[in-house]
């Protein structure tokens, strides 16, 4: 048994939400070290650059000691080998997430048999929350302050002249 397991929480985090932070807090209580690995999702058009997303995430998790923020390009399976990890954390909000997550978990395990994906459920307060929903609400003039960490709220307003 490996007692020094590093878990990786990958995602596009465009932008990070309180739902993401809830998952990070839970993962940080289970694993000695958690790396938040931010990348491009080629199926999505991102509002924030990779560097902006890394900066927002770093500010948002600065108080959690065993959490680091990193970025990567290419396959998650290759990134995991590079940092000597085999645990992927993903949040599961509702049944609608399941098909995509199931496909990704099994594809990653096909690429590397050692990879295990562990799903964590956020607090029920956040089961309806997503980065796309935050962007839509903000774009339509709605109040999104309670859905994102303060660091994200400030940067979001500056970027979009809100
Ligand atoms: O937050 P997202 O956008 O749902 O995260 C999806 C992400 C970034 C984890 C996924 O697209 C990914 O792992 N991208 C890296 C490239 C890769 O490995 N693709 C094959 C995944 S099975």
**Token code pair at residue 106:** 């099994």
- Per the domain annotation, does 12 fall within a domain? yes
Q: Is residue 17 scored above 70 in pLDDT?
A: yes
Q: Report pLDDT for 76.
A: 98
- Per the domain annotation, does 136 fall within a domain? yes
The whole-chain average pLDDT of the chain stands at 95
Q: How far is the CA of 95 from the centre of ligand 1 (A)?
A: 19
Nearest CA to ligand 1 atom 17: 75
The domain that contains 10 carries what CATH number? Answer: 3.40.50.620
> Considering the entire predicted model, what is its pTM?
0.96
- Per the domain annotation, does 82 fall within a domain? yes
Closest CA relative to residue 34, chosen from 69, 7, 58: 7
Domain of residue 68, residue span: 6-159
Nearest CA to ligand 1 atom 1: 11
pLDDT in tens, 46-93: 999 999 999 999 999 999 999 999 999 999 999 999 999 999 999 999
Domain tally, the chain? 1
What would the mean pLDDT of 96-111 be, rounded to a whole number? 96
CA distance 110 to 120: 21
DSSP 145: G
């Amino acid at each position: 048994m490996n007692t020094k397991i590093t878990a990786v929480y990958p995602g596009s985090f465009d932008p990070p939400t309180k739902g993401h932070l809830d998952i990070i807090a839970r993962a940080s209580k289970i694993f000695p070290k958690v790396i938040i690995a931010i990348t491009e999702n080629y199926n999505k058009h991102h509002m924030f650059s990779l560097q902006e997303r890394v900066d927002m995430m770093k500010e948002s998790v600065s108080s959690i000691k065993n959490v680091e923020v990193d970025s990567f390009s290419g396959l998650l399976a290759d990134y995991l080998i590079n940092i000597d990890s085999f645990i992927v954390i993903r949040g599961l909000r509702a049944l609608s997430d399941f098909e995509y997550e199931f496909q990704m978990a099994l594809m990653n395990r096909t690429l590397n048999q050692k990879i295990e994906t562990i799903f964590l459920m956020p607090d029920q307060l956040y089961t309806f929350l997503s980065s796309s929903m935050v962007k839509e609400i903000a774009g339509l003039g709605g109040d999104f302050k309670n859905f994102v960490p303060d660091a994200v709220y400030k940067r979001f307003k500056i970027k979009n002249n809100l």
